[in-house]
Amino acid sequence: MADKLTIQQIELFKLSVPLKEPFTTSLGVETKAENVIVKINTKEGITGFGECSPFMPINGESQDTSFIVGQYFAKVLKGKNPLDIESCITLMDKIIYGNTSIKSAFDIALYDIASQNAGIPLYQFIGGKNDKTIITDYTVSVGDPSKMAEDALKIQAEGYPAIKVKLGLNGATDVLRIKAIRNAVGDAIPIRIDANQGWEVDEAIETLKALAPLNIQHCEEPIARWNYMQLPRIKRESPIPIMADESCGDEHDTERLIQIEACQYMNIKLGKSGGIFKGLKMARMAEAANIHLQVGAMLESRLGMTAFAHYALCSPLIVHFDFDTALMFQEDPVTGGIIYEKNGVVKVPETPGLGATIDTARLKKMESICF
């Protein structure tokens, strides 16, 4: 195991993959994943891969902005030691504020290199244990109640242990949507709801109270992210546990939410945190506060999703997993990586590093730039 490596070359690629059907939330409709792949080559022959799926309404980034900002990072990281991850993260943060999505792709590639260099799987490199079963839920897009009920029935028939439902387009109609789903799937299977900031404060409380009899596990981000100071009130008055998502970006957000006792759960996404380095800080803070966690995703392929699965093994308090969006792709461009088994079970690779790549032939089809 080397103590020092040198970044020799960094390549950025635009990965665009159509979805099987539109994915609809209160924030908009997506018909394809528009991601960025980061490939970092070292002089010593180790190659690391990372991926981000920028989403403008949440992290203020697009595929194009990530591709451009990534070039700033590539220019300054070339020649640096990829094993000094903290210095690389600090350097990116000094170059530009925010831009957590593209930062996460570089972060994942650095961790891929470091764990390959150590000769162990990524989850082990970050102190995790592969001692729990990762089971993903599957998501129903918000829309017509009857269509949502049909989609929920399909998810139930495929054996997923929980159904996640996108809401946030009028609280009263959202209640009708969940009632339609419950009537279709019965009472046994848990339902998790995500309003994606779609409700006003009073509307959220009223809606959550109306949904209480319908066996709802938790509700993600009921109100606008900027209005997070109202989350403690919603938490107190809601019979359904609250999970912070958009309001929980990095470790600073985590600290604030803990201090004001805003929620029972937090949803960590590496595309919001800036990657694994800061995600680990968030997990440790949550552990100290005894707050249970979900690890979620945007529209990453199995490459990014593999990083999330490794990260999900870093803490026993990570108990929910939202890794379904890669299954919505019309094409799977990834070699290796996590394996989706029956009933939503996700298997994490035991090979050194991330264990996921995109082969050269597929990369050649993408728009790219090399430094």
Q: Point out the catalytic residue in the list 39, 103, 164, 166.
A: 166
Sign of CA dihedral 333, 273, 309, 231: negative
Q: How many residues does the chain have?
A: 371
Q: Is 39 a catalytic residue?
A: no
Rounded alpha-carbon distances, angstroms, from residue 70 to 9, 50, 101, 248: 13, 12, 10, 23
Q: Alpha-carbon distance 340 to 345, whole Å?
A: 6
Residues 298/272, Cβ–Cβ less than 8 Å: no
- Distance (Å, whole) CA 352 – CA 105: 18
d(CA 280, CA 328): 28
Residue type, 367: E
Q: Which of 245, 246, 300, 324 is catalytic?
A: 245
Q: State the catalytic residue, choosing from 103, 235, 269, 272.
A: 269
The residue assigned the tokens 């108990």 is: 319
Note if 86 is an active site residue.
Answer: no
Structural tokens at position 315: 């803490």
The answer to whether residue 166 is catalytic is yes
Catalytic residue of the set 194, 246, 300, 322: 194
Please identify which residue in the block is written with the tokens 């709801």.
Answer: 193
Catalytic residue among 220, 253, 300, 324: 220
**Most distant CA atoms of the chain, gap in Å:** 60
Give Cβ neighbours of residue 226 (< 8 Å, ≥ 6 apart). none
64 is catalytic: no
Distance CA 314, CA 186 (A): 34
75 catalytic residue (yes or no) = no
Cβ pair 70, 36 in contact under 8 A: yes
Query: Mind telling me the catalytic residues?
Result: 166, 194, 220, 245, 269
